A and B are shown apart, each in its own frame.
Chain A
Amino acid sequence: MQLTNRAKPVDRKPLSIAEKIYLPAVLKGMGITFSHIFKKKVTINYPEETRPFSPVFRGLHILNRDEEGRENCTACGLCAVACPAEAITMDAAERLPGEENLYREEKYAAKYEINMLRCIFCGLCEEACPKDAIYLTETFAPANYSRKSFVYGKDNLVIPHPKENPEAFAKAKGLIDERKAKANQAK
């Protein structure tokens, strides 16, 4: 049954004389290849140059802190619920007296894990978060030898401390701010 009319019957006519002596086609082809010698090359010299990320690129997650270095996450679990790949797990814990400089609110995530092999980098966790706590950055997971190492815990996810390591914090924060600006623009 013919579904579309895009199919073309194969032309099996014997070659014409011009085709039989091959030369016109050969010269035409050589003209095309010669013009390509002067075209711009598409190669990127990788270690020296890198291809810029797309503005909507979604990479590895980062867990945010506020200016005093307190973790934003309250382990509400909305990101885990939103996650279509079920890549996020967490254990909640109550903040003890004396830990006010560590966690912003009374409840925090004692364990927070994202399985980067399950994650599809859709960014729904970022959208679901009510506490400004999780963001996707412009980095990707480096290669590794074990599956276990792709389950990123808090040690891999939480942003550097703004007071102990201000430089790294500023760098990571810059990425977050950039994303926020883009999100606002989209709105």
Chain B
Amino acid sequence: MDMILLAVDWALVLEKTLFIGFIISISLVVAMYATYGERKIAAFIQDRLGPNRAGPFGLLQPLADGLKLFMKEEIIPTSSNKVLFILGPSLAMITAMLTSAVIPWGDKVELFGRTISLQIADVNIGILYVFGILSLGVYGIMIGAWASNNKFSLMGGLRAASQIISYELAMGISLIALLMITGSLSLGEMVKQQQEGLWNVIVQPLGFFIFLVCAFAECNRTPFDLAEAENELIGGYHAEFSSMKLGFYLFAEYINMFISSAVMATLYFGGYDIIPFYDESAWGFSTNIMALLGAAALFVKILFFIFLFMWVRWTIPRFRYDQLMNLGWKGLIPLSLFNMIVTAAVILFLKK
């Protein structure tokens, strides 16, 4: 027993635990302020001012919203399946948080004589892990919707499930083209390649575009928010939820958005690479500063994508169900297959 305990690298465990806590709190704070950002951006786009009463510029608004959700009565409908009713939002929240484990948030940092990687786990099948967790995310919605025992919720859940199945395919195929170029499934490795060479978006513009559209669909964001559809399904899968269980669903959506943005930035926009076509090591900063600058660059990219999510949401109306399915099966999947085949052909041609 003693030997096993000694063999464990306690410093590593502590370092990872602290880092996980840090990343989770960052995701939560970003998600919190994404709700604020969403309301502000919606307001600006509609020529309004947005929340501006709680604190300076309304910056305390997310806290007020959170407090309100906590104070609300927790209602569990009598005809619902209670275990699943609680499991639904928990699962949505957990899966939303899990994906952050494999994303490289920055390069290595040297602290207390240790080299700390700014990535929770550099799994060599990182991208597959991301996909696995992303598809698990819909279970939170499906389980919650089914457990509500409400036909509108159920319809929302059905829509979410069919939508995610349809768009996951196109997303996966568009990613295969990317994997053929990088030749690696590890996200850390992909970022390193992009640091040295081109950003993947330049090599794979069509692939990136398909991925972007599918990311919108996976996050249940407008124009693909059929699962919520507040005007036809009165909130869809979360119609029966109240208090913090509703808060978890809403929060999970924003965390998903944050993580999707991070994945997109990592896969196609060079992750923590600061400037494309440029070797930043020429600046001569120490590794720590470079790592922090890189993390900041990644954050700027993530924030841009979050802004894009919101910008699109307040521009485009929701697709009809048949339009959604047509776009997914007749539009994006053939397009991604085409992209994959062309990529493969070009790779073969170049390699001779």
Contacts and interface: CB of A to CB of B under 8 A. Distances in A.
Interface of A: 20-22, 26, 29-30, 32-34, 36-37, 39-43, 45
Contacts of A36: 44-47
A33 B313 CA distance: 10
B315 A30 contact: yes
A22 B213 CA distance: 12
B311 interface: yes
Nearest to A25: B316
Given A33-B311, A34-B311, A39 B316 contact: no
Nearest to B319: A22
B64 interface: no
B312 interface: yes
23 contacts: A22-B327, A26-B312, A26-B315, A26-B316, A29-B315, A29-B316, A30-B311, A33-B311, A33-B314, A34-B45, A34-B311, A36-B46, A37-B44, A37-B45, A39-B47, A40-B47, A41-B44, A41-B47, A41-B49, A42-B47, A42-B48, A43-B48, A45-B49
Contacts of A42: 47-48
Contacts of B331: 20-21
A36 B46 CA distance: 7
Interface string B21-45: 0000000000000000000010011
A43 B46 CA distance: 11
Contacts of B49: 41, 43, 45
Nearest to A44: B49
Interface centre among B311, B312, B315 (most CB of A within 10 A): B315
A39 B44 CA distance: 8
A39 B311 CA distance: 15
A43 B41 CA distance: 15
Nearest to A34: B311
B174 to A, nearest CB: 16
A143 B339 CA distance: 66
Contacts of B44: 36-37, 41
Contacts of A43: 47-49
Given A22-B327, A41-B47, A43-B47, 6 more contacts: A26-B316, A29-B316, A30-B312, A33-B311, A41-B44, A42-B47
Contacts of B45: 33-34, 36-37
Interface centre among B45, B52, B327 (most CB of A within 10 A): B45
A8 to B, nearest CB: 22
A20 B334 CA distance: 14
B301 to A, nearest CB: 19
Nearest to A40: B47
Nearest to B335: A21
Nearest to A23: B209
CB-CB nearest 3 A-B residue pairs: A33-B315, A43-B49, A37-B44
B48 A41 contact: yes
A169 B300 CA distance: 61
Nearest to A29: B315
Nearest to A31: B315
A37 B41 CA distance: 8
A25 to B, nearest CB: 9
Nearest to B312: A30
A42 B315 CA distance: 19
Nearest to B326: A20
A36 B314 CA distance: 11
Contacts of A22: 327
Contacts of A37: 41, 44-45
B303 to A, nearest CB: 15
Contacts of A29: 315-316
B344 to A, nearest CB: 24
A32 B311 CA distance: 11
A184 to B, nearest CB: 39
